Amino acid sequence: MSVGPIQDLSKLCIHTITTKSWSLEEAGENYEKAGVKGISVWRQYLEGRNIAASGDRLRAHGLGIVSLVRGGFFPSISSETRKKAIDDNLKAVDEAAALGAEMIVLVCGADPGQSLEVSRSQIQEGIEKVLPYAIDNGVKLAIEPLHPMYADTRSAVNTMEQANDMAEAIGSDHVGIAADVYHLWWDPHLEKEIKRCGANGNLMAFHICDWVSPTVDMLNDRGLMGEGCIPIQKIRGWVEEAGFSGYNEVEIFSDRHWATDQHDFLNKIVKSYKGC
Amino acid sequence: MSVGPIQDLSKLCIHTITTKSWSLEEAGENYEKAGVKGISVWRQYLEGRNIAASGDRLRAHGLGIVSLVRGGFFPSISSETRKKAIDDNLKAVDEAAALGAEMIVLVCGADPGQSLEVSRSQIQEGIEKVLPYAIDNGVKLAIEPLHPMYADTRSAVNTMEQANDMAEAIGSDHVGIAADVYHLWWDPHLEKEIKRCGANGNLMAFHICDWVSPTVDMLNDRGLMGEGCIPIQKIRGWVEEAGFSGYNEVEIFSDRHWATDQHDFLNKIVKSYKGC
């Protein structure tokens, strides 16, 4: 499906980390003023707060609470660390339920001290251990495949195909996939695997930003939509064709943009969102 | 096939860029003293030299001249730049023939101003334009699939599968693939695609180094074998099972190692090579 540029802000969601220096309250207020309609909350922005009250406050700003970010980091060569990871993910379920977030985004993790295959099996095991509690609390778990440049320490799940395989192996309507263009744009099988993901009911989230050239930092040099080379509109077409009708979540880590006035940055986000 | 650790240096080749500050003459002399048996020559080390005489000198040091590095960089939104790239690759063929190098390694290129699909088609077109001259001069062209983190500007060919597709589409015994563990280790289809590559007679070169954690620079932070998380021995087993019996080429770009005494670094290369 060929889609045109985005015309309005009705599906615009922003991750709190994108406007890094703003508190949750500042983000809520400023996003509303800018016409943003959804928010994905990184867990550090909840520290020291009454989470349920924070959720109510965000909703009072007209913001849908799209996801809690992030759970995961299941693999480790240490069984004690793996157990701690499970505990932390159970805590994330509590937080998501209290906040009223529909899902938790999973940055699955990897340990360079063991093979990717072992890390992947520990990821699946971790998700399966957390899943019953997530179901009880009405919280979904979204596997986010990460770019292969993060395969050593951040995620052993690096393609949409692998995420599909894992979500299908687990086989729960509470486990799906968060597709982020930054991680996936290079993959020649992306269209096919997005289609498969949608057909299996597993497409839970869609994240956008851009890949700038040159990229000077492996983590914190993402671009605004249009600043880079990712065919965002084409990928959004595949995602919508696959049946996804949720938010387009802007998730930009950028030392460059974080160093600027965050109101100006938010204006640029809105401007680059329209038309992407 | 499960292989054991490397026992001797008979297949050890080093890329001149690995010992960056050494001239070609210094590299030849020092590699021989260290027991190295092959050399892959980066083109900048030939500047201002009689290339045929340089080749003779390297062979007099007992070094097999494995490859000339690098050709490629075919794609561009500018047709003039694409034409210049062809000319430069023809020049590389002359250099490889004069040097007595069996193959040229192709870093295929990409242009962030156009789609990956267009860049790939320009890569194939570029190779096909250079190929007759390469055949006439007895020089092979090895497509090197590059890590997806280089898809914006360095190569639109990012997996072994894509390289296999392209080499098979071109269908010449003078076009094959250089497999580098740094670019490929994360790929869940690697074993299958190495097998396919060997079965089609396209496996021309095998490059080794390691992926360190954390990686602090996207280009120049490669590790010595064993310093990182790449299962080098397992991948070498696949490569040998696929019928490859050529050199194991050490290609390390590392600001960290380049800042040390290069004789010490060479000793570390030899030590980490034995047993990897």
Tell me if A273 is assigned to some domain: no
Could you give the angle at the alpha carbon of A210 between the alpha carbons of A261 and A236, nearest 5°?
Answer: 120
Of B152, B213, B215, Cβ closest to residue A229: B152
CA distance A66 to A99: 10
3-state SS assignment for residue A152: coil
Residue B28 lies inside a defined structural domain of this protein: yes
Is A151–B215 a contact, with Cβ atoms under 8 angstroms apart? no
- CB interface of A with B, residues 129-148, below 8 Å: 147-148
Q: Which of A150, A152, A209 to mutate to test the interface with B (most CBs of B within 10 A)?
A: A152
Q: Do B218 and A149 touch (CB under 8 A)?
A: yes
Which chain A residues are closer than 8 Å to B210 by Cβ?
Answer: none
- Examine residue B52 and state whether it is found in any structural domain, yes or no: yes
Nearest to A6 by CA among A272, A275, A225: A275
Nearest residue in chain A measured CA to CA from B219: A216
| Residues of chain B found within 8 Å of residue A185, distances taken between Cβ atoms | 151
Q: Is residue A206 part of a domain?
A: yes
Q: For residue A156, what is the nearest residue in chain B, using CA coordinates?
A: B186
Question: Is the ipTM reported for this complex over the cut 0.85?
Answer: yes
In a domain, residue A21? The reply is yes
Tens digits of residue pLDDT in A110-145: 999 999 999 999 999 999 999 999 999 999 999 999
Using a CB-CB cut-off of 8 Å, the residues of chain B touching A214 are 153
Residue B248 belongs to some domain of the structure: yes
Is the pLDDT reported for residue A86 higher than 70?
Answer: yes
**Chain B contact for A112 (CB, 8 A cutoff):** yes
* Residues constituting chain A: 276
CB contact under 8 A, B213 and A152: yes
Here the CATH number for the domain that contains residue B259 is 3.20.20.150
Q: Which of residues 222-241 of B touch A (CB under 8 A)?
A: 228-229, 231
Residue partners of A12: CB distance under 8 A and separation at least 6: A35, A36, A37, A38, A247, A248, A250, A270, A273
**Domain count across chain A:** 1
What confidence tens digit (pLDDT) does each residue in A41-61 have?
999 999 999 999 999 999 999
Domain that holds residue B257: 12-271
Residue A196 covered by a domain: yes
Nearest residue on chain B to A234, judged by CA atoms?
B115
In a domain, B6, yes or no: no
**What pTM did the predictor assign?**
0.97
Question: Residue A1 — very low, low, confident or very high, per pLDDT cuts 50/70/90?
Answer: low
Per-residue pLDDT, A78: 98
Predicted pLDDT at A271 = 98
B155, two tokens: 């190569």
Q: B-chain residues within 8 Å CB-CB of A188?
A: 116, 158-159, 161-162
